[in-house]
Structure 1
Amino acid sequence: MLAVNYTNLRENMKAYMDKVTDDYETMIVTRKDNKNVVMISEEAYNNLIENIYVMDNKHNYDWLMESKAQLENGNTKTHELVEVNEDE
């Protein structure tokens, strides 16, 4: 996680935005009176929102954790892929 003050961010906006998006960095923009903000990429934001949605629903979360445990314990099956014609 990077930290930059508002003045420095303003002077180097493109470089910092590129750092956030290209390097998947999270940046704290420091401001007076500790009214800081956090800058993240749109991709990171969308991922965060999706995780909150999945984790907020107990049924989804439990299903996900059960699936994860099955995978970690080697309780998996392999299936051949079936080709489907476009007209089906």
Structure 2
Amino acid sequence: MEATTYSNFRKSLKSFMKQVNEDSEPLIVTNKNKEEDIVVMGKDDYDSLVETMRIIENKYLYNKIRRGREQLDSKSNYHSWQSDKR
């Protein structure tokens, strides 16, 4: 994850916004007071992160996805096993 100073970030805001969105990599913006440091990320990446957190926090939905994944994995193993028999 790249980092830049607040002063540099302010001078090159448009460039950093473009970079963060194109690279899908967050950017740390540092300040003299470490408590004022921030992380900048693209909106699409933020939305994806929030959605992932909501899924993980929703036990019913998380378990449903996990069970579906297990079913897919077992079918893949079954089909792989069937192919090996031939």
TM-score (norm 1): 0.78
Aligned to 1:36: 37
Q: How many equivalent pairs are there?
A: 75
Q: Which runs of 5+ in 2 are unaligned?
A: 77-86
Q: Which runs of 5+ in 1 are unaligned?
A: 76-88
Q: Which has the higher helix share?
A: 2
For 1:73 and 1:19, the matched residues in 2 are separated by: 41
Deviating beyond 4 angstroms after TM superposition, the runs of 4 or more aligned structure 1 residues are: none
**Superposition CA RMSD, Å:** 1.2
Corresponding letter in the other structure for 2:39: V
Percent identity, please.
31
**How far 1:19 moved relative to its partner?**
0.6
For 2:73 and 2:12, the matched residues in 1 are separated by: 45
TM-score (norm 2): 0.80
